[in-house]
Amino acid sequence: MDFQNLLDDIAGTVAASPPRGEVAAYIPQLGAVNPDQFGIAVVTGEGEVFSAGDANVPFSIQSISKVFALALVLATDGDGVWQRVFREPSGNPFNSLVQLEQEAGIPRNPFINAGALVVTDRLLSVTGDAAGTVLDLMRQESGNPGVGVDPVVAESEHLHSSRNASLAYFLASCGNLENPVPDVLDNYIRQCSLAMSCVDLALASRFLASNGVRVDGTALLSSSQTKRINAVMLTCGTYDAAGEFAYRVGLPGKSGVGGGIVAVVPNNLTVVVWSPGLGRSGNSVSGLNALDEFTTRTGLSIF
Query: Per-residue x/- marks for ligand DON, 123-162, CB under 6 A?
Result: ----------------------------------x-----
Contacts for 117 with CB less than 8 Å, ≥ 6 apart: 107, 164, 167, 168, 171, 177, 184, 185, 188
For the question of residue 26 being annotated catalytic, the response is no
63 binds ligand DON (CB under 6 A): yes
Measured from the CB of residue 32, what is the shortest distance to ligand DON in angstroms? Answer: 15
Which residue from 28, 77, 87, 95 is in contact with ligand DON, where contact means CB under 6 A? 95
Which residue from 107, 277, 282, 287 is in contact with ligand DON, where contact means CB under 6 A? 282
Q: Which residue is nearest to ligand DON (CB)?
A: 63
For the question of residue 257 being annotated catalytic, the response is yes
59 binds ligand DON (CB under 6 A): no
Which residue from 67, 257, 262, 285 is in contact with ligand DON, where contact means CB under 6 A? 257
109 binds ligand DON (CB under 6 A): no
Applying CB under 6 A, the residues found at the interface with ligand DON are 62-63, 94-95, 113, 157, 164, 192, 255-257, 282-283
Which residues belong to the active site? Answer: 63, 66, 188, 239, 257
